[in-house]
Amino acid sequence: MAQKVDRQELQIRFLQAINGADYRFIEGLNPFHILLNGTEYWIYIKNLTSAHFTNPDVWRAQLPLRDDFNVIKESEAEFIMLGYDDENDVYATWNPVWVKQRLNSTENVSLYSRYPLQVEARQSFQLKRMDLGNDGEVVIFPREMTRMFFINVGSYFLNTGDYVAMGSKRRPEANEAFKRFSNVANVASFAKYLTDEGLSSITIGSYCRVIRALISEGFITRNRKIFLQYDSLADYEKSIPQFIDIPEVRAKNDKWHNLISAALGSYIAFLNHDVQPEEEDATIELPVEEDSIPSPSELVDKPDQATLFDHFCNLETVERFERALFHKDYLRSTVKRYSRAMRYLIKEGFLEQHKNVFLTCTSYSLYQNAADQFFRIPDVRAINEERHHDYSAAMKQYVEFLVRTETYVQPVEPVHVLEEGEPVPYGTTPPPVEEGRDWEAEFTDENGKLTRIANPALLEKLRPVLDREYPNAATACNIVEDFYGDRFRDMEFYEWGRLFKQIDWSNPVPRSSSTTEPETPTRRSKSVILRVELADGTVLEHKNVSTTYCEAIKSIGPEEISILGICHAGVNIVSRELDAKYADYQRSIGDGWYVMTNSPTPVKYQDLLRIIEEYGVDMKVSMVALDPTATLSVVPPESKTGTREKIKVRFPDGRTIQPSKVLEALVEVVKFAGAERVRALNIICCGDNLILKHPTPRYENPCKPVGDGWLCNTCSGTPTKFEQIKEISDRLGLGLTVELV
Q: What is the pLDDT of residue 171?
A: 59
Percent of the chain with pLDDT over 90: 17
Pick from 371, 419, 390, 398: which is nearest to 315 by CA? 398
Query: For 113-133, what is the mean pLDDT?
Result: 88
Q: What is the pLDDT of residue 553?
A: 92
Q: What is the DSSP letter of 82?
A: E
DSSP string, 676-695: HHHHHTT-EETTEESEESS-
Mind listing the pLDDT tens digit for each residue in 505-548?
A: 777 887 654 433 333 333 444 567 889 998 888 889 888 888 89
Q: What is the pLDDT of residue 627?
A: 60
Mind listing the pLDDT tens digit for each residue in 589-642?
A: 888 888 998 888 888 888 898 888 777 788 899 888 766 554 444 444 444 444
Backbone angles phi, psi at 128, to 5 degrees: -125, 150
In three-state secondary structure terms, 260 is helix
Backbone angles phi, psi at 108, to 5 degrees: -140, 125
Confidence check: pLDDT of 83 > 90: yes
Mind listing the pLDDT tens digit for each residue in 703-713?
A: 889 998 999 98
Residues ≥6 apart with Cβ < 8 Å to 4: 47, 49, 86
Confidence grade of residue 676 (pLDDT, cut at 50, 70, 90): very high
Mind listing the pLDDT tens digit for each residue in 373-388?
A: 899 898 898 888 888 7
On whether the CB atoms of residues 586 and 597 are closer than 8 A, the answer is yes
Backbone angles phi, psi at 52, to 5 degrees: 60, 35
Bigger pLDDT: 215 or 515?
215
Bigger pLDDT: 370 or 152?
370
Query: For 707-733, what is the mean pLDDT?
Result: 89
Residues ≥6 apart with Cβ < 8 Å to 654: none
Pick from 75, 73, 77, 117: which is nearest to 93 by CA? 117
Taking the C-alpha atoms of residue 96 and residue 105, their distance in angstroms, rounded to an integer, is 15
The CATH class of 7-161 is alpha beta
Mind listing the pLDDT tens digit for each residue in 444-470?
A: 876 778 888 988 888 888 887 787 656
Q: What is the pLDDT of residue 462?
A: 87
HSE of 317, CA atoms in CB hemisphere, 13 A: 29
Query: For 723-737, what is the mean pLDDT?
Result: 92
Q: Going along 576-716, which residue ranges are E strands?
A: 586-590, 593-596, 620-625, 647-650, 656-657, 684-685, 688-689, 691-692, 703-707, 710-713
In three-state secondary structure terms, 138 is strand
On whether the CB atoms of residues 263 and 257 are closer than 8 A, the answer is no
In three-state secondary structure terms, 286 is coil
In three-state secondary structure terms, 567 is strand
Q: What is the pLDDT of residue 428?
A: 41
Taking the C-alpha atoms of residue 298 and residue 313, their distance in angstroms, rounded to an integer, is 13
Taking the C-alpha atoms of residue 34 and residue 43, their distance in angstroms, rounded to an integer, is 8
Q: What is the pLDDT of residue 526?
A: 56
Please report, for residues 2, 227, 394, 608, the alpha-carbon distance to residue 371 in angstroms, rounded to integers and kept in the order given: 66, 42, 11, 27
Residues ≥6 apart with Cβ < 8 Å to 145: 125, 127
The pTM score is: 0.30
Bigger pLDDT: 364 or 675?
675
The pairing of strands 574-575 and 23-28 is unpaired
- Cis omega (within 30 of 0) on the bond before 31? yes
The pairing of strands 78-85 and 39-47 is parallel
Taking the C-alpha atoms of residue 715 and residue 284, their distance in angstroms, rounded to an integer, is 40
In three-state secondary structure terms, 730 is helix
Bigger pLDDT: 31 or 429?
31
- Residue 641 sits at the vertex; the CA angle it makes with 717 and 647, to the nearest 5 degrees, is 50
Confidence check: pLDDT of 167 > 70: no
- Residue 496 sits at the vertex; the CA angle it makes with 71 and 3, to the nearest 5 degrees, is 65
Query: For 356-380, what is the mean pLDDT?
Result: 85
Parse the chain into domains and list their residue ranges.
7-161, 176-271, 290-405, 453-502, 528-641, 647-740
Bigger pLDDT: 116 or 603?
116
Mind listing the pLDDT tens digit for each residue in 390-436?
A: 898 889 888 888 876 664 434 333 434 444 444 444 434 444 445 55
Query: For 331-358, what is the mean pLDDT?
Result: 86
Please report, for residues 410, 567, 646, the alpha-carbon distance to residue 364 in angstroms, rounded to integers and kept in the order given: 13, 11, 18
Query: For 140-166, what is the mean pLDDT?
Result: 69
On whether the CB atoms of residues 662 and 721 are closer than 8 A, the answer is yes
